[in-house]
Structure 1
């Protein structure tokens, strides 16, 4: 005997599962309908599941996908259900960045400058906001300004050389990622803010501590970024 009282629940569950299946089936057919080669998107994450679960960073994933499309001018990926075009051909890239740039200026990145002003940088902004910021920053990178920065960068380079030499003399293991992060922090602090924070000599410098937080986000921050990819309006 079948308990007919549960029949509406079974029907509702079946309809729900069917709707979910159809939704992802339609969403993941975007590139196929346009004749663009794809990989193997998996619901609900598409091609970025490894990034969501922090098994890989975005750069590693893009590099792997780039190699998978070897011999092709471009390929299609999915950020959850959002289609993304990965371009390999230099001529197509040139058209996108120069000739047809007005059609491709959007970064596809959700930015909330009110909540986090640091999100409003050149690599995240789009359209008029990107153009306005670029106009403001361009004078900073003139040949004259770069020449003024060069001496500071040389000094930071000498400190890096001394730091590496001392570590080698003491036969200590060198953590390349950490030491180059400290080197980069010294250059940024000196050139952009006029601060000599000596991160190479003092790994626990205050400037370095705050910089580290940007690249070592908490679980909540990672979850927040994942949600921004799925539902930017939230």
Structure 2
């Protein structure tokens, strides 16, 4: 029995030491940070509340620049526009990597832009950046607005007529039309024009 107690105490001590070491990363960094018990409460909140509520609570308490964690990994939370401009634009080379996503078990989906990290993400970011300059994004806004207004009109029509709306189909059409407008400069209404050349290619690619 005494050996069991000793092993149990040793295990608990090592576990406490490990947790304390991981969650003391920000203690001497000189910035506001989330403590271990506050982080455990946050972990509970993200499973019981909308995530934005949990993040906003920390934002209100600690400000626009504070340390926290993702799992056991230290994470710096930034909501300061000038600092974000440095991270994403001016000093991007120093902040190239991002959180490694979960393994999907599908090589094609793993190569998606949303799941890339490391050198692959850096290379993809370098290729894509010219397509997202300020002027190009501004030029895309009227096209996106036109597509969303079309979606809104359809939803209003369903509401006024009291008829059910196939939300999945309407949102898919909106996504396709937005992509066609922004990437290819096509004014496409895929909800109506099922035989548009882009729709034909889309069906062949994803059918």
Give the alignment's TM-score, normalised by structure 1: 0.59
Mark the CA change 1:50 to 1:92 in structure 2 (over 3 Å): closer, same or farther.
same
The alpha-carbon deviation at position 47 of structure 1 amounts to 3.9
1:111 deviation in Å? 4.8
Greater per-residue helix proportion: 2
CA contact (8 A) 1:107 1:124 kept: no
Describe the superposition over 1:133-187 as per-residue Cα deviations: whole angstroms up to 9, x where unpaired. 345546766989x9799669735632431321330353x899xxx95x7554212
Is 1:88 aligned with 2:75?
Answer: no
Question: Once the 2 structures are TM-superposed, how far is the Cα of residue 188 of structure 1 from its aligned partner?
Answer: 2.0
Partners of 1:35 and 1:139 in 2: how far apart?
A: 37
1:7 is aligned to 2
Structure 2: distance between partners of 1:13 and 1:44? 26
2:49 corresponds to: 56
Structure 1 CA distance for aligned equivalents of residues 17 and 126 of structure 2? 46
User: Is there any run of 5+ residues in structure 1 with no aligned partner, and where?
Assistant: 1-5, 200-206, 208-234
CA distance in 1, matches of 2:43, 2:145: 37
Distance 1:132 1:84, change over 3 A: same
Instruction: Determine the structure 2 residue equivalent to 1:165.
Output: 157
d(CA) in 1 for partners of 2:102 and 2:18? 27
Asked if the contact 1:37–1:75 (Cα under 8 Å) also holds between the matched residues in 2, the reply is yes
Do the aligned partners of residues 45 and 109 (structure 1) sit closer, same or farther apart at CA in structure 2, a change above 3 Å counting? farther
> Unaligned regions of 5+ residues in structure 2, if any?
181-185, 193-201, 203-207
Contact 1:106/1:126 (8 A) holds in 2: yes
Please state if 1:69 is matched with 2:58.
Answer: no
Q: TM-score, normalised by structure 2?
A: 0.66
Aligned partners of 1:24 and 1:43 also within 8 Å: no
Q: Are the structure 2 counterparts of residues 128 and 32 from structure 1 closer, same or farther at C-alpha, using a change threshold of 3 Å?
A: same
Describe the shift of the 1:155–1:115 C-alpha distance in structure 2 as closer, same or farther (beyond 3 A): closer
CA distance in 1, matches of 2:107, 2:59: 31
User: How many corresponding residue pairs?
Assistant: 186
- In structure 1, the partner of 2:96 is 105
What's the CA shift string for 1:37-90, capped at 9, x where partnerless?
123433995843333xx21344443233222223xx511112222111112333
C-alpha RMSD of matched pairs (Å): 4.1
Q: 1:30 and 2:25 equivalent?
A: yes
Alignment check: 8 A CA contact 2:66 2:77 kept? yes
In the other structure, the counterpart of 2:173 is 186
